[in-house]
A and B are shown apart, each in its own frame.
Chain A
């Protein structure tokens, strides 16, 4: 039986990633040093997640 996911479940992770990305976009504008590092990590997250999901190669 196929379980239909609710909108909340579908959009929970994307929402978190969007918020993290937004923090990353703003952070490097605010300051240098650590602020830049936060930005690299936060905006690097979507790239990292993409690679993780593609390379995991687990059949659905």
Chain B
């Protein structure tokens, strides 16, 4: 056996095992990810939402202190965690409230408010929605952080499977022109061609979507890193101060933040004591206005007692990486045509997974080992596979 054959067998083994381990989970991710590409459209179709009042261009937004008071009147005994501007619907914003300030925000109640009148719209329970169930299956399979990290690990295996797939593509194509599809041959041959063709055509997309997905599974850890790193640094002088007894105006704090970071638009505000802020600050997160900079958030920390700016810094690289990786995973950054292309690429990825498993089962049944089949592509023509 030559050195090349030996090395190809090794790559073949890597491709086989990384693929086999992750395939089932990748199928789950591709299938649940498909409706998630269109989650806005599906939600609009399946669920009625109270529409915000018609507001002609230039209508000033409501005073946010009033808006907050109206929201809290709908949730007696609850405390606000976040105030969030709706990216897709400028007429609406969200107030996220929990039982206590240190309660787990993933269980928060979301109250939807009219941006311009400050009036209450609705507070839908999203947890029963089809898109929510898909999202949970897709991000953590209802298993919390361990579930997320596990799927991240499967994502890493997926990326290794793609890279080893590129290597074993070469011997497979030694006698074939690019894009060969042997339509007259047995199903095993045709499916091998589909697997090779779709696999190699989608290499860049699957690698990027796969790896950005892995990065997304680390979001909770990235947030913790930021909390103990930059956020702690920015608020060091407040470490020993008592929790403010009375909070300053939210509306005023946001105005201070707008002035401190000119040219950027508020995206959300984290109230003092939440994961995204210190116990003494409103953290106002602002975004830019290009497709890329609209994903990069910059926090301005406003002293929640004095209403003055404490500090504003660009996020560290590891947070920016996470934010940039999100659109690249979701495909939501180029309008509806991009979403449709994303869906088609997702369906082709399902083809790659299914044909891959099928080829493995076929070869197992015929006794031709995957490694040998890959190292010696001619074995696909063996009589056992021609039946």
Contact pick for A29, options B169, B174, B291, B345, CB 8 Å: B291
Select from chain B the residue with minimum beta-carbon distance to A28: B334
B242 within 8 A of A: no
Across-interface contacts of A43 in B (CB, < 8 A)? 205, 338, 341-342, 345
What is the interface size of chain B, counting residues whose CB is below 8 A from a CB of the partner?
42
Report yes or no: B338 in contact with A5, Cβ–Cβ below 8 A.
Answer: no
B: residues with CB less than 8 A from A are 166, 169-170, 173-185, 194, 197-198, 200-205, 208, 290-292, 324, 327-328, 333-335, 337-338, 341-342, 344-345, 348
Q: Report the Cα distance A60→B180, complex, angstroms.
A: 7
Contact pick for A31, options B185, B291, B342, CB 8 Å: B291
Q: Report the Cα distance A25→B176, complex, angstroms.
A: 29
Contact pick for B173, options A10, A29, A31, A59, CB 8 Å: A10
Give the contact-size bracket for chain A.
35 or more
Contact pick for B174, options A5, A13, A19, CB 8 Å: A5
A: residues with CB less than 8 A from B are 2-5, 7, 10-14, 17-19, 21-22, 25, 28-32, 35-36, 39-40, 43-44, 46-47, 49-50, 52-54, 56-60
Report yes or no: B341 in contact with A47, Cβ–Cβ below 8 A.
Answer: yes
Across-interface contacts of B205 in A (CB, < 8 A)? 21, 25, 43, 46
Across-interface contacts of A11 in B (CB, < 8 A)? 170
Contact pick for B335, options A3, A10, A18, A36, CB 8 Å: A36
Across-interface contacts of A12 in B (CB, < 8 A)? 178
Q: How far is the CB of B250 from chain A (nearest CB, A)?
A: 32
Report yes or no: B334 in contact with A39, Cβ–Cβ below 8 A.
Answer: yes
Q: How far is the CB of B212 from chain A (nearest CB, A)?
A: 10
Contact pick for A40, options B174, B202, B290, B334, CB 8 Å: B334
Across-interface contacts of B204 in A (CB, < 8 A)? 17-19, 21-22, 25
Report yes or no: A17 in contact with B201, Cβ–Cβ below 8 A.
Answer: yes
Report yes or no: B198 in contact with A59, Cβ–Cβ below 8 A.
Answer: no
Select from chain A the residue with minimum beta-carbon distance to B203: A18
Across-interface contacts of B201 in A (CB, < 8 A)? 14, 17, 46, 49-50
Select from chain B the residue with minimum beta-carbon distance to A54: B181
